A and B are shown apart, each in its own frame.
Chain A
Amino acid sequence: MKGMETDKRSIQREALAELMAQWCSEGKRVLAPKRSGGKVDFDRVTSLSEVSFDHVQTVQSPKSAVFPRVEELFSFRSTDGRVEIRERNLDTLPETVVFGLRPCDAAAFAALEAIFNWDGPDRLFSARRARTTLVTVACSRADEFCFCTSVGGGPGAVTGSDILLTDLGQGGFLAEIASAKGRELLSAAGSLFGPAGDADKESRLAKLPAVFPPDAVAAALAGLFAEPAFWEEQSRRCVGCGACAYVCPTCACFDIQDEGGATGKRLRCWDSCGFGLFTLHTSGHNPRPLQSQRWRQRLMHKFSYMPERQGVLGCVGCGRCARACPVDMNILEHIRAIAEARP
């Protein structure tokens, strides 16, 4: 989608604050990065003053806007052997604006859509997605964990965003209107936007050279699957928690749980392929009994299976998994090792 035509405007910080106030007054749920206790994470906000702009990346991804960590799929009631199912009323799902996500986060929604709608549309996910608008803020800084440019993205990439804002300094933002939803937002608040000047967007963006070609990774992975020693070496310090999967913007594995007795709810909750229980069969057999096999699965899924089956890379280079990992499993390092490996 590089070189996609976008409608360029400008907006001042005060107008942006007004725009956000307008969304809130319309009853929209606005999720944005908020600083609390030394960490920046997405939370519900009602005013622009609550929003953090100076961080590199939030701890968690914005995926919970469309894929909450626990959600009700439907409720049920069983009486006299008859089960009555009550579907969720999708009309009550909130109209949501995710504000201040990064270009890598916006790109990640394509991966989520590919997974959830792979063999048929996921009703709940699709309804949430349809009600979600992405107003992205481009990156002026990157850290050592960022690698979006190696996986097809960039600090100022518009792909996936409805509107992309780039801070031009002195309270002004370049606003690139990149989708029909973006145009809707614009037409609802046209007076808040001004004409785009001739500001140089590129100069405001983080400089992040690409460090590996994704094709080389996929090609190398194919030959590495049956090399257990390689994966043992890679994953030795992994302790097998789910932090990487839970902060990941594209990880979409879930578990289904029923709560209640004869009357109850069916819930969908996050799960992770890093857990030993993830693939455990009822018989007691576990096809992935070792952590090294589970680590291999994580990387294969993102860099090999997803491109092959869904035509989209399962990693956007946000670096969250590496920042969140309690034992410093730095994915970029591992991917580079794979790209350079000659099995």
Chain B
Amino acid sequence: MPDFQPKIVAFVCNWCTYAGADLTGTSRMKYSPQVSIIRFPCTGRIDFMLLLKAFASGADGIIVSGCHPNDCHYSSGNFHARRRWIIFRGLLDFLGIDVSRVQFSWVSAAEGAKWAQLVNETSERIRELGPFTGYQRLRGLGVG
């Protein structure tokens, strides 16, 4: 599917990854334009259901990113988020939902280059996986 341009939604925290992505831009580094960034106060606020909402709204891939461990602006939001993701990934996999479409990462405010690389790698992987029709098909099913 060479023409396929994946839709990727990135849920990022305000203090680290959003600032890191900003640095990518101000450093004039180019990266894949398929990503739509949604800024949150903290990764601890990123409810697992938001990820499913993104898929249901047509996302083909998701990035969730925040401060490195011990760097959380609120001291432990990212630690709590990490536990939730461990469980959520296990559940998604058990339900047959491909977790390789969700990339978790830590990107600090100083890691503009890491953000560019993360988005590029994720876009490439999702492009290879193709559109997430399996999930998108659910919308509308079961309405008589």
Contact = CB atoms under 8 A, between A and B. Distances in A.
Interface string A242-272: 0000000000000000000000010100000
Nearest to B139: A259
Q: Is the interface of B mostly helix, strand, loop or mixed?
A: loop
Nearest to A265: B143
A265 B142 CA distance: 14
B134 interface: no
Contacts of B144: 64, 68-72
Contacts of A70: 142-144
Contacts of B142: 70
Interface in A34-74: 64, 68-72
Interface in B106-144: 142-144
A267 B144 CA distance: 9
Interface size range on A against B: under 10
Contacts of A64: 144
Contacts of B143: 70-72, 265, 267
Given A69-B144, A70-B143, 10 more contacts: A64-B144, A68-B144, A70-B142, A70-B144, A71-B143, A71-B144, A72-B143, A72-B144, A265-B143, A267-B143
B58 to A, nearest CB: 13
Pairs A-B, 9 closest by C-beta atoms:
A68-B144, A71-B144, A70-B143, A72-B143, A70-B142, A70-B144, A71-B143, A267-B143, A64-B144
Nearest to A72: B143
A265 B143 CA distance: 10
Contacts of A71: 143-144
Nearest to B140: A265
A72 B144 CA distance: 7
Nearest to A69: B144
Interface string A69-97: 11110000000000000000000000000
A267 B143 CA distance: 8
Contacts of A267: 143
A324 B143 CA distance: 24
A58 B144 CA distance: 21
B138 to A, nearest CB: 13
A94 to B, nearest CB: 10
A197 to B, nearest CB: 41
Nearest to B142: A70
12 contacts: A64-B144, A68-B144, A69-B144, A70-B142, A70-B143, A70-B144, A71-B143, A71-B144, A72-B143, A72-B144, A265-B143, A267-B143
A258 to B, nearest CB: 13
A71 B143 CA distance: 5
Nearest to A269: B143
